[in-house]
Amino acid sequence: MKGALRWLILVTVVVSSLASASSAARADHLDAEVSAPQTVAAGEVVQMRVVVRLADSGARVPGAVVVASRDASMLGIDGTVEIARSITDRNGIAILRWREHSGRSDTVIVAYAAAGEVEFESVPESVVTEGLGSQIVRSNNGVRIPGLGAWVLIALLVGVWAIIQFAMIGPIQVSREAEASRTIDHAGQEQVP
């Protein structure tokens, strides 16, 4: 997996006029300026900075809701999933933040709507990622304590068994003694005649 993977993120910016200052704003009069890192790998936390302005005056819009979403598919079901959501601050800046889980190529369109209306305008934005990233979630059961493992049990067991075996020398010696005495005995008997 060496080749750089190219992908694009679809960013939908939904702007609603929550703040009184921007109440006059309309979707087709808004402009969104998106700045995102050029390279993103799976597992990384992505921060996307979105500046929302009025298109005609260039004035920044506070209190606008900004939503990032992306097309996705799972087990035969397709749809759009929201991956981040934020509200612009006093300076019309919103930070979208999420942990990147995807590794696919997507198309990015930046769209925005005016207050009280569901009318989208879109501007394509693209981000290039290189590298796939590694597994984010792992299925690992239990806790591993360094140095502690089955070998402790094995060592214990081997030790105990060694002692039991050591005790078995007793009967062996008993047997040997008997044999030794018997050898002498036989020798004695042979010498008698």
Partner 1 sequence: MTIATALLIGVVVVLTLFFALRVLLSRRVRGGRKEGSAPSEDLQPDEAILSGDRRTFLKVVGIGGLSVLPAVALPAVFNSEAGVASTESPATGPGGRIRQWTMIIDLRSCDGCQSQDSPPKCTTACIEGHLAPEPMEWIQVFEEELEGGGTRFLPTPCMQCQNPPCVNVCPVGATFSTPEGAVLIDQERCIGCRICMAACPYDRRFFNWSDPPIPPEALLADYSPDHQIPATKGTVMKCDMCPDMARAGTLPYCSQACPNGAIYYGDLEEDIATNGREIVSVSRFLTTNNAEVLKEHLGTKPRVFYIPGHGEAVGRDPFTEGREPTEWPWVQRVEGSQTWSR
Partner 2 sequence: MAVGAASGRVPDVESLREYERRLEETTLRPVLVTSSWYWVLVGVLLAVIGVGVYAWTTQLDNGLVVTGMRDRVAWGLYISVFVFFVGISHAGTLISAILRVTKAQWRTPITRIAEFITVVALVCGASLIVVDMGRPDRLLNVIIHGRWQSPILWDVLAITTYLTASVIYLGIPMVPDVAYFRDRMASMGHRTRAAFYRFFAIGWEGLPGQVKALSRAVGVLAIIIIPIAVSVHTVVSWIFGMTLRVGWNSTIFGLLFVAGAIFSGIATLVIVMALLRRIYHLEEYITKVQFVNLGYLLAAFTLIMMYINLSEYLTTGFKLEEGEEFLFRQLFLGQFAGLYWFYFIGGLAIPGLIILFKRTRTIAGIVTAAVLVDVAMFAERYFIVISAQRVPLLPYEPFDYMPTWVEWSIFAAAIAFFILLIAVFVKIFPIMAVWEMVEERKLLGRDGESAAPAPDAVRGRS
> Least distance from C-beta 159 to partner 1, angstroms?
9
- Binding mask 51-90 toward partner 1 (x if CB under 8 A, else -) reads ---------------------xxxxxxxxxxxx-------
39 Cβ contact list (under 8 Å, min separation 6):
128, 129, 130, 131
Exposed, middle or buried: residue 103 (CB in 10 Å: 0-12, 13-18, 19+)?
middle
CB 1 within 8 Å of CB 100: no
What SS3 state is found at 187?
helix
Contacts of 161 (CB under 8 A, 6+ apart): none
Residue 171 contacts partner 1 per CB under 8 A? yes
DSSP class of residue 29? G
174 binds partner 2 (CB under 8 A): yes
Site string for partner 2, 127-166 (x = CB under 8 A): -----------------------x--xx--x--xx-xx-x
Distance of CA 48 to the CA centre of its chain: 19
Closest to partner 2 by CB, 56 or 185: 185
Using CB under 8 A as the criterion, what x/- string covers residues 93-132 for binding partner 1?
-----xx-xxxx---------------------------x
Q: Which of 90, 91, 179, 184 binds partner 2 (CB under 8 A)?
A: 179
